[in-house]
Structure 1
Amino acid sequence: MDTLEDTFRSLSIARRLQPSEAMYILDLSIASCASGVSDVLAVCCSNHSVHLHSRETLRLVGELQGHTAPVCGVLFSHLSPHLLFTGSADGTMRCWDIRRPGSDASQVFRSDSTHSYCSFDVSCSDRVLCAGTEQVEEDSFLVFWDARMLQDRGETGSEMGRLLGVYSESHSDDITTVKFHPRQADRLASGATDGLVNVFDLSLGGEDDALVTTCNCNSSASSLCWTGKDLDQLLCLTHDEGLNLWDVARPDSDDTLTLLSSADAQPLVQLPNGASLEYFVGGTWLSDEERILLVGGSNHGELHLLDCSGCGLRFIKSLKGGHSATVRCFQWDAIGRSLLTGGEDGQLLQWKAGAEEISVGKKDSLKSISSTQLKTKAHRKQATQKGRSKLT
């Protein structure tokens, strides 16, 4: 049987879905849980909508509308293949039943009216939903809801999620990424543009007691991923292409947490034929092979697959002829053995080993300009230092 790396090395475009309107694809999610696997792929678009596609053919099968500002992400429930969570800068988190495309969200989650969400995640038990806010005056907040306990219905008739509480002292700028542990429902990591990455044990009580580790990535954190054989390592990528890999299994140990650290990880790998690694799309832990897959790219759409370990980065494969602009998101579909990618050209691509391309949508110019002015914020390279000791 071919190894996963053999599969990566033989990836080519299987299907290409062209945009029907000018927009960016910002995030995507596929469902995979113990209770079943959905044949639906959810895509977050820059026009504030969420598109539902066939996981195999990429054809559009539905659309979810309700958010009134940029959507910061989409995520399927861990326990039900039919439930999809979304978060938005409009100050709402929503849960949708994808069996009813076109209907309103089944649940809506809100906190303070000044909160604008820019990241979120759901615990592996599906019980706790956490969102990170943009900075509000001098503070930024981690907001928690119990996704299973409901309050009164809102004006739209959707059920309102029960607010559990707020953490307000751990970050001082936009909280750009939050990530629950894949197996421990009470363990949460958060990263922000203040350069701090915090690890919490929510079972310990209030914010001060729950904060068990603070690491400094010396830049603006863009994404986090739990990795390692026992999922006790934390991968952090930054907005200026820095990379950190920390061992957070024993946060109270005197040993250093840092396994790999680079303020600019681009020179860590040599790409063939003079290709350039201009940005990271993200990273994911491949549990079957116990390794980290990093996906990087160039601004004209070329993708680079990399293996990441404590020893550095290793080149696997470049994917060409697909995207024509910056790629924003990817997912490895372990069941379908395919790589799914979306980006600023509005294209949704499916890559499979040894595939021949099937065009799903219209064959217009691959280069599209978003019709929506995306909200952006310049990220500082120098992190704001907070008045607490940091473990590095």
Structure 2
Amino acid sequence: MEEIERWFHDLRIAKRSTQKTDDLTYLLDIDCIKSPTGQSSHLVAVSCSNHCIRVYNKQTLALVQQFQGHSAPISGIRFAQTNSQLLYSASCDGTLKCWDVRSSSTDAVQIFKGYPNNAFTSFDISCDDLVICAGTEKIKEDTYMVFWDARSGTNTDYPGAQEPLGVYSETHNNDITQVRFHPSNPNMVASGSMDGLVNIFDISQETEDDALLATCNSDSSVSFIGWSGKQHQQIFCLTHDEGFFLWDLAHLHNDEPITLVKMQDARKSLKLDSGSLEYLIGGFYHKKADRLFVLGGSHMGKLHFLDCEAGGLAYMYSPRDGHSAIVRAFYWDPEDNSLLTCGEDSQLVLWKPNAIETTTENKPTMKLPSDMQIKMRVHGKSTYKSKK
């Protein structure tokens, strides 16, 4: 435990991305290239509130590339697992796009479109890079998980766009806020929704009913889900009212309880040594430590590391201030124990063990309306196929 605590206690700000003084762009999501074991990632991508994607050199935080191809808020970005030059993005404009980060061209190399009126609120790509899944907003009574084969041919109805395999349509009744494929099983995917449910599917099955393996209820709107445990047999969930839940899927077929942790509001349960816990950002499973960690924050940009223990979350450590507004996303690199954070102060910050920052000036708090409250809704009725 002492070594684990040292990983976080030693974190210092190493670099900040340089921004123009009039840049009021929120940074909303973040991902890094998945490097071979033993190597640290060298490129990091962030999505922005102005509907663009920026790619940075991870070590210097120098801007490498920028892609501007969506017409509505970007709901997520993901690097491919096996082809590190490909970066995917999903948007409320009803498209997913694939970008080549090593190309001098800023045009998308692939475009994936759903059915009319789809507005994508979340997505992920399987660990073998073969299947893409995106969740949609609820339009009238319809909410969908749309699937594509990343190798599929052109859809003649949408020139240049990839045709969906089909959809799941029966297991959520509100906006799907999260989609997460299993880290090592390409056929297993989890989804979280504003209806409070976290569903786990085996997409190798022929029907949606057969594919549904488990349904876990958080009794609140789901904001974040992730996989945990040595064999990734656990699923955890954060909610929009700052709840935390952990379920063990290994107990689906025995008498052991599936719910390991149930915290309706972590803010009321935790006492912090530094500042206040006002929201939960996300979590990550650290394989070397065999522990699940959660990152929280304050509205003024303070970060708090939390440890998942038996029965709930425990406060660990708060590094010195690095942001001046809400932190929206982070990426933990287990290869070099570094942390990347980004948020509503328009800054991308790199934290490394025992680093020394050359500049310590914080940007003023942003005053723009949060992009989480800006949604593109396309109204109308459309016909859907069931995924077979």
- The two structures have a TM-score, normalised by structure 2, of 0.90
Deviation at 1:165, TM superposition (A): 0.9
Judge which range, 2-11 or 91-100, deviates more.
Answer: 2-11
Q: Which residue of 1 aligns with 2:193?
A: 192
CA deviation digits over 1:172-194, x for unaligned, max 9?
00000011100111111101001
CA distance in 2, matches of 1:162, 1:27: 26
Letter in 2 for 1:298: S
Q: Which residue of 1 aligns with 2:45?
A: 42
Deviation at 1:73, TM superposition (A): 1.1
Judge which range, 224-233 or 92-101, deviates more.
Answer: 92-101
SS of 1:358 mapped into structure 2: coil
1:300 aligned onto 2:303? no
CA distance in 2, matches of 1:189, 1:301: 30
1:176 aligned onto 2:177? yes
Q: Work out whether residues 179 and 190 of structure 1, in 8 Å CA contact, stay in contact via their aligned partners in 2.
A: yes
SS of 2:6 mapped into structure 1: helix
Q: Which residue of 2 aligns with 1:357?
A: 357
CA distance in 2, matches of 1:71, 1:103: 17
Q: Which residue of 1 aligns with 2:74?
A: 71
CA distance in 1, matches of 2:43, 2:369: 26
Letter in 2 for 1:28: I
CA distance in 2, matches of 1:375, 1:68: 16
CA distance in 1, matches of 2:234, 2:210: 21
Deviation at 1:372, TM superposition (A): 8.2
Deviation at 1:270, TM superposition (A): 1.7
Q: Which residue of 1 aligns with 2:65?
A: 62
2:132 pairs with one of 117, 129, 133: 129
Deviation at 1:251, TM superposition (A): 2.3
CA distance in 1, matches of 2:32, 2:152: 25
CA distance in 2, matches of 1:10, 1:37: 18
Deviation at 1:101, TM superposition (A): 4.7
Q: Which residue of 1 aligns with 2:207?
A: 206
2:89 pairs with one of 79, 86, 91: 86
Deviation at 1:4, TM superposition (A): 4.1
Question: Compared with structure 1, are the counterparts of its residues 103 and 280 closer, same or farther at alpha carbon in structure 2 (3 Å cutoff)?
Answer: same
CA distance in 1, matches of 2:362, 2:321: 15
2:118 pairs with one of 115, 119, 123: 115
SS of 2:261 mapped into structure 1: strand
Question: Compared with structure 1, are the counterparts of its residues 346 and 272 closer, same or farther at alpha carbon in structure 2 (3 Å cutoff)?
Answer: same
Question: Compared with structure 1, are the counterparts of its residues 132 and 153 closer, same or farther at alpha carbon in structure 2 (3 Å cutoff)?
Answer: same
SS of 2:316 mapped into structure 1: strand
Deviation at 1:358, TM superposition (A): 2.7
Deviation at 1:3, TM superposition (A): 3.0
* Residue segments in structure 2 that go unaligned for 5+ positions in a row: 376-388
CA distance in 1, matches of 2:370, 2:294: 29
SS of 1:19 mapped into structure 2: coil
Judge which range, 33-42 or 184-193, deviates more.
Answer: 33-42
CA distance in 2, matches of 1:154, 1:49: 26
1:103 pairs with one of 97, 106, 115: 106
Question: Compared with structure 1, are the counterparts of its residues 60 and 154 closer, same or farther at alpha carbon in structure 2 (3 Å cutoff)?
Answer: farther
CA deviation digits over 1:323-367, x for unaligned, max 9?
01110000012234311000111111111111111349xx68432
SS of 1:148 mapped into structure 2: coil
1:367 pairs with one of 362, 365, 374: 365
Q: Work out whether residues 87 and 120 of structure 1, in 8 Å CA contact, stay in contact via their aligned partners in 2.
A: yes
1:25 pairs with one of 16, 27, 37: 27
Deviation at 1:139, TM superposition (A): 1.6
1:228 aligned onto 2:229? yes
Q: Which residue of 2 aligns with 1:320?
A: 320
CA distance in 2, matches of 1:372, 1:103: 27
Deviation at 1:202, TM superposition (A): 0.9
Moved over 4 A (4+): 33-38, 152-155, 371-374
Question: Compared with structure 1, are the counterparts of its residues 216 and 343 closer, same or farther at alpha carbon in structure 2 (3 Å cutoff)?
Answer: same
SS of 1:270 mapped into structure 2: coil
- The two structures have a TM-score, normalised by structure 1, of 0.89
CA distance in 1, matches of 2:134, 2:140: 18
Q: Work out whether residues 345 and 367 of structure 1, in 8 Å CA contact, stay in contact via their aligned partners in 2.
A: yes
Q: Work out whether residues 48 and 68 of structure 1, in 8 Å CA contact, stay in contact via their aligned partners in 2.
A: yes
Deviation at 1:60, TM superposition (A): 0.7
Question: Compared with structure 1, are the counterparts of its residues 193 and 15 closer, same or farther at alpha carbon in structure 2 (3 Å cutoff)?
Answer: same
CA distance in 2, matches of 1:33, 1:202: 27
Following superposition of structure 1 onto structure 2, how do residues 257-336 of structure 1 map, counting pairs within 5 Å?
A: 257-273=258-274, 275-336=275-336
Question: Compared with structure 1, are the counterparts of its residues 70 and 185 closer, same or farther at alpha carbon in structure 2 (3 Å cutoff)?
Answer: same
Q: Work out whether residues 90 and 117 of structure 1, in 8 Å CA contact, stay in contact via their aligned partners in 2.
A: yes
Q: Work out whether residues 34 and 79 of structure 1, in 8 Å CA contact, stay in contact via their aligned partners in 2.
A: no
Q: Work out whether residues 245 and 310 of structure 1, in 8 Å CA contact, stay in contact via their aligned partners in 2.
A: no
Q: Which residue of 1 aligns with 2:385?
A: none
Judge which range, 98-107 or 42-51, deviates more.
Answer: 98-107
Q: Work out whether residues 131 and 149 of structure 2, in 8 Å CA contact, stay in contact via their aligned partners in 1.
A: yes
SS of 2:210 mapped into structure 1: helix
